[in-house]
Structure 1
Amino acid sequence: MYGITTNLIGQHRRREIALYRALSRTGVDPVVEPFTDEVERRVTASAARQRLAGALAGLSRKHRDTLLLVMWAELTYEEAARALGVPVGTVRSRINRARSALRRALRGLDPAAEDGGRDR
């Protein structure tokens, strides 16, 4: 029993020493760093969410409704056109205008968050 305990304590001590050496080389604590990254991501997402809500509120109702049907409800342009009772070209135009307005309003946020103009 003492032999097993001695081995486990030795393994723990070696891991701890390796961790301290890595910390001294990189300055990054592998235990704490993932948590701080997550906190930073959440704070950034919260700020983006507030700006997005304000930008969506600034859209006209027809542009906001069209954008939400396509992006949030995941309807195709054709399905959104049927739901709104408008031609597909009108849906495409509204989506384009809504995206342009949102890009202007959200300028300065992480560009990876943009959808890159994918078409449905």
Structure 2
Amino acid sequence: MDRDEDLLVRAAREPAAFEPLVDRHSVALHGYLVRRAPTAADDLLSEVWLQAYATRHTYDADRGSARGWLFGVARNVLARHWQTLSRTSGAPQRTSEIPGVDPWRAVDQRLDVAAVVPELRNGLAQLPEPERELLLLVAWEQLTPSEAAAVVGIPAGTARSRLHRARTRLRVALSGSTLTNLTGDFA
């Protein structure tokens, strides 16, 4: 079986080499999109694959994994989606949502420990956007810190320090909550 990185490089000259990437990564990318834009995830996934295919020649294996590159494409598609929504709706974000990013209503339904939803939401909302994005990419999408760094376009060392800072801040925000009592430590 070919490695993702080899397939993506080969796909620049052999379009058929791109197809296994779709099969391998659609479920993970769809999950990423569902958690951030539940009602638009299917359409956004289609856009991710269109963008990834159109820009496959820009992939540089020296800058990171194919998986990280695909999540970067997904993040850019999602950002454009939110910008479009923001421009067309003209309505301010709900205070229950993290300003300028993910709509969090659907997250409530996906958390196992419903008692900490407000604390977790508040803790995440207090994180600076780059730290929150790194934390969610590592925790939800199971990217490595280096892959998450490539997604957000920062050096791996910077990502590791921001991730550590985000975990520490969230741990403090959740100290004494049901979540930390059940797990002993969430991160």
- TM-score for both structures, normalised by structure 2: 0.36
Give the aligned partner of residue 70 of structure 1: 138
Aligned length: 73
* Residue 114 (1) aligns with residue 185 (2): yes
Shift of 1:53: 0.8
In 2, distance between residues paired with 1:58 and 1:84? 19
Name the CA distance, whole Å, in 2 between partners of 1:72 and 1:65: 10
Are residue 102 (structure 1) and residue 167 (structure 2) matched?
no
Q: Deviations over 1:22-41 (max 9, x none)?
A: xxxxxxxxxxxxxxxxxxxx
Is 1:60 matched up with 2:116? no
How far residue 105 of structure 1 moved from its aligned partner, in angstroms, is 0.5
Tell me, in whole angstroms, the C-alpha distance in 1 between the residues paired with 2:182 and 2:163: 19
Which residue pairs with 2:147 in the alignment? 79
* CA deviation vs aligned residue, 1:76-113 (integer Å, no higher than 9, x gap): 11111111111111111111000110111101021525
Is there any run of 5+ residues in structure 1 with no aligned partner, and where? Answer: 1-43
Structure 1 segment 29-68 matched on structure 2, within 5 A? 45-68=113-136
Paired with 1:78 and 1:99, the residues of 2 have a C-alpha distance of 16
TM-score when normalising by structure 1: 0.55
In structure 1, distance between residues paired with 2:182 and 2:113: 13
Runs of 4+ in 1 over 3 A off after TM superposition: none
Higher-Rg member (1/2): 1
Structure 2 regions of 5+ residues with no counterpart? 1-111
CA RMSD for the aligned pairs? 1.8
Q: What amino acid maps onto 1:84 in structure 2?
A: V
Q: Given residue 112 of structure 1, which amino acid in structure 2 is its aligned partner? A: T
Identity %: 42
